[in-house]
Amino acid sequence: MSNSPRILIVGGVAGGASAATRARRMNENASIVMLEKDAHVSFANCGLPYHIGGAIQDRAKLLVAKPELFKKRFNIDVRVRHEALAVDRAKKTVRIRDHAAGTEYDEPYDRLILAPGAAPLVPDVPGVRAKGVHSLRNIEDMDRIMSRLASVRKVAVVGAGFIGLEVAEQLKERGLEVTLVEKSGQVLPPLDGEIAEPLRRELLRNGIRLISGTGFTAIREDAGAATGVVLENGATVDADMVILGLGVRPYNQLAVAAGLGVGPTGGIQTDEFQRTSDPDIYAVGDAAEYRLGTTGQRGRVPLAGIANRTGRLAGEHAATGKSAPAPAAWGTAVIKVFGLGAGIAGDSMKSALKRGVAARAVHITANHHAGYYPGAKSMTLKLVYEAGTGRILGAQAVGAAGIDKRLDVVASFLHFGGTVRDLAQVDLAYAPPFGSAKDPLHMAAFAALNDLDGVAPVLQPDADLSGHQVVDLREADECAELPLADAKHARNIPLNTLRERLGELDKSRPTAVLCHSGLRAHVGTRILRQHGFDAANVSGAAYVRDLALRRPSDLAPSAPACGTVKACGAPGATIAAGGDELHPVNVMAEASSGALLLDVRSPAEFRSGRVRGAVNLPLEKVTPDAVRALAGGSASPVLLLCASGGRATAAAGKLKGSGLRTLVVAGGTNSCRQAGLPIEKDAGGVISVERQVRIAAGAMVFTGVMLGTFVNPWFYGLSGFVGCGLVFAGVTDWCGMGLLLARAPWNR
């Protein structure tokens, strides 16, 4: 090839910009032109949601490199607002429209690199072009959204994939009311259900209204402006703005019109050097196909990392005629959702099984660093591997810290074809502030080896245990806090008593063994197998099984979003939960799904104003049997309400250990009213006990001051006593005056 080729690049973001700069570094004599149909090149598109939310306040920081820098530093001719219209392969020219000048012209090339990216999926439904309906792909999209936020109160985000979750989180951080709509039954569909479930709980905890299991059929509009989203089930979500996060489709029109090969998913077909069916034309980025590490086939992976790496190689090959082959794409991705992170590298269990791979998986819940060092946070890791060979197929993780480190290690093993035996032996960095002597990855590899070698076979957390003898090795209080999902026939035998109680078990039956998060179950499985039992360890134990067989509203403190998880192997380490509260915006959806909405205020307060559908049971009458009677045997959670939360929290304490799943509605009826929930009331109701306390306390303070001034200074003590009582009530959230007033005749 010529030592001074003319390289034309279509697309100036991740793949195109990487190709251009690498081409220049490898060939100073090349003539390089980069076209971008939008107004900006080389911008941080992954940072767009975070500018919308305010985490990245300076918009300029998203502009990684401007055309002037490309020219001065790399001698690259960057032309923004220039759109490639057609490729003439015979003449080796590209027809270009200059949108700024309103003209068209032909540009010759020796090598052409196509990096046009992808467009957001916008379904053809009524109202989708209404004002206020947006996608988020580039700087212009972001600016349009930002320009309208000041007049927006309610937002509907359609699609709970990576971009949808990021946008929903950031808009909620701005204080907007956000509803997230996802057609599939879980958020972040690429993940397995039990790994995605903590994200769902985290969304609910932070006040995102989540509607899953239904798509949308139209955008409701008024005078050309969006006012809501019409769902497949006929319901409507009110919204001043709608954000579509439904995925992307490749910009392949140039390639198709030029007769280049296109794969089944619309990606431009490429070889190992990212050359298309025309050897002088390359394709990289979201519009191109890559070799998929999971299957060995070629397909699309619309992620910035692989676009940058392959763009670099394509630029080198176009400039010199040679380069290393493009790497496989494993789809490694990670996301932050409020206080949690989650991610994946390689196959999920469901994707591996769908391809017919004999896949196995183990789950480990542990601290992200040594539990005895301050700040340890819980994480759950799922390792997927091939039966027989132990070849690592993929991993997923969810937790408050440390998941990116573990996913990156697994991505390295995927790249080099490692096995769980290799992972068990890898020498990872360890110091208490950073990790553990036995890292969660080591623990996962050990569990996988125990499964492969028959030392402690595993059952998947969602396994049907109806035909098994189930042994729960937890203490009784642990079982009460987190009842074992779908295994009421389980026998509770604490691990330390297992050997002396073997006679209670039947050796002829297959035996499933569980604890809270897995370590005790492994020990128990080994004891049972060495005493002749066909025993298997349920992967992830009761905690992960609860996630896998998730109830729509389960946010119990023993299975929280951030995890009150006893990290086996880290003595004494218990990670504090984010709480067992439910945000008011999710109350009606949970109640309609069968949850009991229980108001524990006095009957008079209840009559004076209550959330529609609530049932009254005063706090002093709250007992497990009374609540079970009201629930009618339903396994759905009990949503506890009072005026502002104090009595509901007390009711939750009275029900602790009963096996009932309770959730305190944050802020009580007051917050529900502010959130716009339907409120009903009867004639003859009285003001709330909370207001009665204020009136009584104020009257007593005033009386004490007046008597102390005009009768005897000792009466000031009454005011001081009431003041101390109010301080005590504020600190402890326990108010004796309120409890006394609740028993007053007018409150009954």
Active site residues: 46
Nearest to 583 by CA among 204, 210, 156: 204
Burial of 476 from C-beta contacts in 10 A (0-12 / 13-18 / 19+)? exposed
- DSSP state, residue 692: H
State residue 230 phi and psi, 5-degree precision. -90, 125
Q: Residue 257, Cβ neighbours under 10 Å: how many?
A: 11
Contact (CB, 8 A) for 693 and 737:
yes
d(CA 348, CA 141): 32
Task: Tell me the three state secondary structure of residue 103.
Answer: strand
Evaluate whether 539 touches 458 at the Cβ level (below 8 Å): yes
Taking the CA atoms of residue 220, residue 226, residue 227 and residue 230 in that order, the dihedral angle to the nearest 10 degrees is: 30
Question: Tokens at residue 314, please?
Answer: 């394509």
Q: How far apart are CA 556 and CA 637, in angstroms?
A: 9
Strand order of the sheet with strand 281-283? 77-80, 31-36, 6-10, 111-114, 281-283
Cβ(235)–Cβ(218) below 8 Å: no
Positive or negative torsion for Cα 651, 654, 656, 659: negative
Structure tokens given for 697:
């306390």
Sign of the four-CA dihedral 414, 410, 184, 351: positive
User: SS3 sequence, 42-72?
Assistant: CECHHHHHHHHHCCCCCHHHHECCCHHHHHH
Sheet holding 581-582, edge to edge: 581-582, 662-665, 638-641, 596-599, 615-616
In Å, the largest CA–CA distance within the chain is 108
| Pairwise CA distance, residues 548 & 84, whole Å | 48
Helices (H), 302-417: 304-320, 349-354, 403-415
DSSP element (H, E) containing 120: strand 118-120
Residue 425's Cβ-count burial label (10 Å; 0-12, 13-18, 19+) is exposed
Paired with 120 in beta bridges are 248
- Give the CA distances from residue 172 to residues 282, 478, 546, 703, in Å, rounded to whole numbers and listed in that order: 41, 35, 28, 46
Residue 140 is inside which H or E element, if any?
Answer: helix 139-148
What is the chain's percent helix, strand, coil content, to nearest 5?
A: 35, 25, 40
Cα distance between residue 543 and residue 541, in whole Å: 6
Among the listed residues 373, 118, 158, the one whose alpha carbon sits nearest the alpha carbon of residue 253:
118
Backbone angles phi, psi at 2, to 5 degrees: -65, 145
What single-letter amino acid sits at 654? Answer: K
Complete edge-to-edge strand list for the sheet that includes strand 511-514? 458-459, 535-538, 511-514, 469-472, 491-492
